[in-house]
Structure 1
Amino acid sequence: MKIIVLGSAAGGGYPQWNCNCRNCAGLRRGTLRSSPRTQSSIAISANGSDWLLVNASPDILTQIRATPALQPARAARDSGIAAVLLMDAQVDHVTGLMMLREGRRIPLYCSAPVWQDLQGGFPLAKVLAHYCGVDWRELAVADGERCSFAVPQLEGIRFTAVALDSKAPPYSPHRGQPEAGDNIGLLVHDQITGKKLFYAPGLGAIAPHTAAAMREADCLLVDGTFWSEDEMIALGFSGKPAAAMGHLPQSGPGGMMDVLDGLPASRKILVHINNTNPILDEDSPQHAALRGRGIELAHDGMEILL
């Protein structure tokens, strides 16, 4: 099984177009040892030719151009993207569907709450019906339970969706009434090698069933959005702490570093990194603290073999 990190940043990318925080300004000036990143998405393949796109970010066209494997050129019009899976209905994870409108009908795997949002609050599915069209494949997740499924073009790989504690997007009709499936984690099992990946770019709290799925994984690719709970408040960019935005920060008691310390995975990688997070500065003490605990930072183009 091969995984390519197409985009490793949180919404807005890095540097964010309108942000002059220390990270964004330093990256533009060339005074910060860091690398630009596009918005969060990964691709998974069993054979290196047919890929499951997991989240379709607004940067998808840039990501496809940077990833030759996604354009195998087997025909005059072709794509290596065999299907799309959505972890949630957040704007930075679904807008890229519009960029795929010139292709074939899109087999789209997502939960019922996400599908409802794509029909109503952010009706991309209705718009796409006038272009390529979408075939919805429901991920029937429930609180504390798992939904196991296969993607036909990815032979030998089994997927398991796990409901996460989260909120629907601001435009969702049920924003104030969270439902199982608003956000999922994904356990990916290569049945030939026996290896497993757990992917969760948005992880605000870790319920027992989520922790159990994480303990199964050989590789963890999880939420690296914020370093501290008050990161956006301290910078004057938001009045909300990390938890209110659905993200578990790396630092502090019970933070992501502590969580990852207690898990057996051989690789522990942070993804969906916000432009304000000091870990993006490769000379920062925060970056060194992660490295000292064996935690990696995802970057665009990162390849993982399991």
Structure 2
Amino acid sequence: MQIIVLGSAAGGGFPQWNCNCHNCNGLRNGTINATARTQSSIAVSANGSDWVLINASPDILTQIRNTPALQPNRHQRDSGIAAVVLMDAQIDHVTGLLMLREGKQLPIYCTPSVWDDLTTGLPLMHVLSHYCGVQWHPLPTNNHVTQYPAIQVPGIDGISFTALPLKSKAPPYSPHREQPQVGDNIGLLIEEIATGKKLFYAPGLGALEPHIENAMRTADCVLVDGTLWTEDEMITLGFSKKKSADMGHLPQTGPGGMIEVLDAMDTPRKILIHINNTNPILDADSHQRATLTQHGIEVAFDGMEITL
């Protein structure tokens, strides 16, 4: 199984277009050891030619240009993207769908609550129906079971995808923003059936529920929420009144933080993704990055390739 990190930043990318924080200024001025990042998305393949796009960020065109594997030359018009799986309905994960409107009909895999948001509060699917069109495949989620059904995507032979519900809120535009529904946000357990190798992917992870902890422990690689370093990072910097938990993210530090969570697991590879532009781990020379290295935790970057 092949995985390519197309984008590794949180919403807004890095540097964020209107941000003058230490990191964004440092990258622009060359005063920190960091690289630019687009908004989070990955692609998964069994054969290296046909790919499942997981989330479609506003940066998708740049990501495709930077990823030759997604640009096969088999026909006059062609794409390596066989289908799209959506983790949630957040703007930074879905608006890239509009950039794919010139292609063939898009197979879209998402939960019913995400589909509802994308046909009501943000009616992208109605817009796309006037261009390429979409074919919806519901992702089953149920928080009253212990076993979650796996699905397979046509054209991506030998790989299964299991959607695991996460505690989270729907996007601010959602009609049910204040009434969370099962499936507003999911993690994905992705398995190569022949080898049993597994990736757990969750760019937004706010709580470690038992079924999520079990999935992370069984995975050969976890690619998980690296948004903020501290619980009060955005408040301290004066960018928001919300704590990390209010935004649906586990910070890396503090009791129950991501470092503590990952330290308790024997997973061979532990990688952070969806990194906010304010997070000091973006500076490769920072003591925060050194702390992650000491704990055996990697930081995803655009173009990172993972083979399981």
Q: Say whether the fold is shared (TM-score over 0.5).
A: yes
Q: How many residues align?
A: 306
Amino acid at match of 1:273: I
Partner of 2:99, secondary structure, is helix
SS in 2 for 1:116: helix
* Number of the residue aligned with 2:177: 175
Root mean square deviation, CA, Å = 0.6
Q: Per-residue displacement from partner, 1:1-46 (whole Å, max 9, x unpaired)?
A: 0000000000000000000000000000001001110000000000
Match of 2:151 among 149, 152, 160: 149
Residue equivalent to 2:108: 108
Inter-partner Cα distance in structure 1 for 2:25 and 2:195: 44
Within the candidate set 182, 193, 196, 1:194 is matched to: 196
Per the alignment, in what secondary structure is the counterpart of residue 169 of structure 1?
coil
Q: Report which stretch shifted further, 152-161 or 240-249.
A: 152-161
Report the equivalent of 1:66.
Answer: 66
In the alignment, structure 1 residue 275 sits paired with structure 2 residue 277: yes
How far residue 228 of structure 1 moved from its aligned partner, in angstroms, is 0.3
Alpha-carbon distance in structure 1 between the residues aligned to 2:36 and 2:209: 32
Displacement of 1:282 in angstroms is 1.0
CA contact (8 A) 1:117 1:123 kept: yes
Moved over 6 A (4+): none
C-alpha contact 1:224 1:272 (8 A) present in aligned 2: yes
Contact 1:139 1:147 in 2 (8 A): no
Judge conservation of contact 1:50–1:80 (CA < 8 Å) in 2. Answer: yes
Give ranges in structure 2 of 5+ residues lacking alignment.
Answer: none
1:1-306 equivalences under 5 Å are 1-143=1-143, 145=145, 146-306=148-308
1:64-110 Cα shifts (integer Å, max 9, x gaps)? 00000001110000000000000000000000000000000000000
Q: Is the 8 A contact 1:159 1:188 kept in 2?
A: yes
AA aligned to 1:180 is V
- Structure 1 residue 144 displacement after superposition: 5.1
Structure 1 CA distance for aligned equivalents of residues 258 and 204 of structure 2: 12
How far apart, in 2, do the equivalents of 1:221 and 1:46 lie? 18
Cα offset, 1:279, TM superposition: 0.6
Which ranges of structure 1 fall in alignment gaps of 5 or more residues? none
Partner SS state of residue 254, structure 2 = coil
In 1, Cα distance between the equivalents of 2:86 and 2:217? 23
Given residue 219 of structure 1, which amino acid in structure 2 is its aligned partner?
A: C
TM-score scaled by length of structure 1? 0.99
Kept in 2, the 8 Å contact 1:156–1:191? The answer is yes
Measure, in 2, the Cα distance between the counterparts of 1:40 and 1:293.
Answer: 23
> What is the letter of the counterpart of residue 204 of structure 1?
G
TM-score, normalising length from structure 2?
0.98
Deviations 1:216-254 (A, max 9, x none): 100000000000000000000000000000000000011
Give the residue type in structure 2 aligned to 1:79.
S
User: Quick one: which amino acid aligns to residue 176 of structure 1?
Assistant: E
Taking the aligned partners of 1:157 and 1:14, their CA distance within structure 2 comes to 32
Identity of aligned residues (%): 69
Amino acid at match of 2:95: T
Shift of 1:193: 2.0
SS of 1:119's equivalent in the other structure is coil
